[in-house]
Chain A
Amino acid sequence: MLARLTNAEQLMMQLSWYIALIPALPLIGFLLNALVVRNERANGLLASASVLAAFGVALYAVVDLAALPEESRRLTVTLWDWLSVGNLTVSMGLLFDPLTAVMVLLITGVGALIHIYSMSYMHGDARPARYFAYLNLFVFSMLMLVMADNLLLLFLGWEGVGLCSFLLIGHYFDRKSVAPGIVPSEAAAKAFVANRVGDAGLILAMLLIVSYFGTLSFFGADGESGFLNKATEVSFISVNVSILGSIGVVSAIGMLMLLGVTGKSAQAPLFVWLPDAMAGPTPVSALIHAATMVTAGVYLIVRTHIIYDLASDAASWVTVIGGVTALIGATAALTQFDIKRVLAYSTISQLGFMIAAAGMGAYTAAIFHLLTHGVFKALLFLGSGAIIHGLHDVQDMRRMGGLRKSMPTVYRIYLLGALALAGIFPFAGFWSKDEILAHGWYFAQDYNITIMLIVSSLFTAFYMGRQIALTFGGEARDEDLHPHEDLGSMKWPLYLLAGGAIIAGILNIPGVHWLHDWLHPVLHEETELFTLSMGIFATITTLLAAGSGYLGYWLYNRMDRSQIRAGEEDPAHYYLGDIWKGFELGWGVDYVYTRFLVKPYRAFARFMYRVVDQQAVDGILVEGTAGLVGKLARLGAGAQNGNVRSYALVFFVGVVIVVGYVVFGA
């Protein structure tokens, strides 16, 4: 528990209004780009400058934060009361504590680099203002997500990043299909809908929290009245879920939030949107789907870690889903032939690592991996962007080959990223991934999951080796392609990220665990002792990974154009047949959704359109009513036929009726 704040600290809090600048600057960038600025170069500069400025402010805030004593490291500012309904009050409040700080630095730092890269990559695009505006809006939403001091404001950012990813994936909405045969507008819709399904879980969790805690604020205005503080008080209450029996409140909350996480962070079974999301521009993939948005789920779990500490059944679900997803992602990445789809499935797999770590209680390890992954995955995506750019929009690896000669800089950078991802010592990925594996084996002692993760990491190395071989190794397989390396200003972000991929590991080296100490006020994890057996364990797993990586490289490097052709199956398909195909399709999850959900729904929508809307509503209700009125009117007009005799008849009928009434009735 945090101690009550002293006057000095309260004064400090009042002065920390400036943290509101961090999300405000990208928001201003968004507004200007959307409404005012129309020049492509200006769009890019404005967008990049706003994110860079936010990064600067964030650095200042970190310095401020570090100056505070450890127990009270939290800067907050409440801008205004958002809503006040009955007993529930939600404020527009931001907080800045160590966990938020690392997220903000990642978002603004990598985000700024991607903005700068975009200025070169998206040169000549038809809609630059829209692109940069939404990119800024995305950064704003993500910052709101990580800086929110209550769950509702977090949800605002959550929805905002979902919206922006929809908008940005669909940036090429006027194209019928992008390289691997995906329609961008459909891919965007798929992302949004899959996210939405998860969001339902998060909303239900919020409702539970409100009804049992009365507040959505994480820590409350005084640092002690938020629902995270009070979580222990209700841990014994059970909720009756009708036929399913009863479940602890905390477990219910945890599992419902997990549903939201599976949607946003592309875990099983809601990961199907992420591979298709590659239809968007490559920098978008880098920012949203590698470094930031998909990590929102991990952040959520880590922020509300107390819930998972109290509800071990929910936590074990988290772990299982993380492990399974890691495996699905890794096996799928093995089989893809589109350069970005490999990275997409790889992201799914690595997110599985992070989620599994969080489920096992290794929150620091999860965040550590989040940071390193953010750096090297962004590097890989931007590198693939450079390749695609140099080949004039070719993404199919079967047509590549021999690029190490024609694009040497990109080759070296990409290789760096691949080694980091595969977890090879001493690059960034090694430290974070092995911390997760060590925790799983020695501290959580969850052997099944850890073995799943180890297998996944072997596959990871293998598919990166395969990718390197197919793309850069061997000889060029397609004479129509004339690759040229023309990086321009794309190279500065690439170099910076490459540097990050090399050294990011020092954030949390065993023994000198800076990240762990930094996050301690928030996560309260005990320091884990580093033993020799852990070192041996790490060495073994890394050597295995290196071996499988090289195996992948070697196998595919030997193949020439006779075995690898565009439009044909991977040679491994010959040996593994349907298993390979199953992996390629992501274990059939997407197929199940398409066949049993999307197609019937589309048929239903078509039915509603053709039958209900066109025939029933337009035909019967609208035109039918009009026609009926017309017919009735014509019928009525028949009474005015101009013939005196018929008028007289009507008279007479009236007379008979009146006489009848008088005689029989009245």
Chain B
Amino acid sequence: MIPTAMYIGLSALLFTIGVLGVLLRRSALMVFMSVELMLNSANLALVTFANQWQSVDAQIMVFFVITVAAAEVAVGLALLVMIFRQKRTTNIDTMTSLKG
């Protein structure tokens, strides 16, 4: 039996790596991928606790997370493609219309 703490620790580490990816990478695609990583780390934590408390509901929650994540990726990438058509670059630092 493995202590819960180790799984949670792993989840936290993956989450942090995902955050760093969001903050430090400038390509929109890389940011997306990092977000997926973050989602996965959260899923991992959920499954860990599902196992600890013998709960099905948590796993079902993970199921839904995955579903919504898939939908979100689809739409997000579609938007990204549209933006790329306009700006010819995926560098998010150039997308500053919300400035001020």
Contacts and interface: CB of A to CB of B under 8 A. Distances in A.
A652 B99 contact: no
Contact of A642 (B19, B22, B31, B99): B99
A652 to B, nearest CB: 6
A310 to B, nearest CB: 84
Interface residues of A, number: 10
Contact of B97 (A637, A642, A645, A652): A642
Contacts of B52: none
Contacts, number: 29
Given A641-B96, A644-B92, A644-B95, 19 more contacts: A637-B100, A640-B98, A640-B100, A642-B95, A642-B96, A642-B97, A642-B100, A643-B92, A643-B93, A643-B96, A643-B99, A645-B22, A645-B23, A645-B26, A648-B22, A648-B23, A649-B23, A652-B19, A652-B23
Contacts of B26: 645
Contacts of B93: 643, 645
A267 to B, nearest CB: 74
Contacts of B96: 641-643
Nearest to B98: A642
Contacts of A648: 22-23
A644 B92 CA distance: 7
Interface of A: 637, 640-645, 648-649, 652
Nearest to B100: A640
10 contacts: A640-B99, A641-B96, A642-B99, A643-B92, A643-B96, A644-B92, A644-B95, A645-B26, A645-B92, A649-B23
A640 B31 CA distance: 20
A325 to B, nearest CB: 77
B99 A641 contact: yes
A641 B99 CA distance: 5
Contacts of B92: 643-645
Contacts of B100: 637, 640, 642
Contacts of B22: 645, 648
A604 B100 CA distance: 48
Chain B residues touching A, range: 10 to 19
Interface in B2-58: 19, 22-23, 26, 31
Contacts of A649: 23
A644 B97 CA distance: 10
A648 B93 CA distance: 12
Interface string B77-100: 000000000000000110111111
A93 B85 CA distance: 97
Contacts of B23: 645, 648-649, 652
A30 B27 CA distance: 88
* Listed residue (A637, A644, A649) with the most chain B CB atoms within 10 angstroms of its CB: A644
A649 B21 CA distance: 11
Contacts of A640: 98-100
A645 B26 CA distance: 8
A294 to B, nearest CB: 73
Nearest to B15: A655
Contacts of A637: 100
B81 to A, nearest CB: 18
A526 B97 CA distance: 104
Nearest to A649: B23
The 9 closest A-B pairs by CB, nearest first: A642-B99, A642-B96, A642-B98, A648-B22, A644-B92, A649-B23, A640-B100, A652-B19, A641-B99
A271 B81 CA distance: 95
Nearest to A659: B12
Contacts of B99: 640-643
A644 B98 CA distance: 9
Nearest to B16: A652
A494 B45 CA distance: 116
A643 B96 CA distance: 5
Contacts of A642: 95-100
A644 B27 CA distance: 12
A641 B92 CA distance: 12
A637 B98 CA distance: 12
A640 B19 CA distance: 20
A485 B47 CA distance: 123
Contacts of B19: 652
Nearest to A645: B23
Contacts of A652: 19, 23
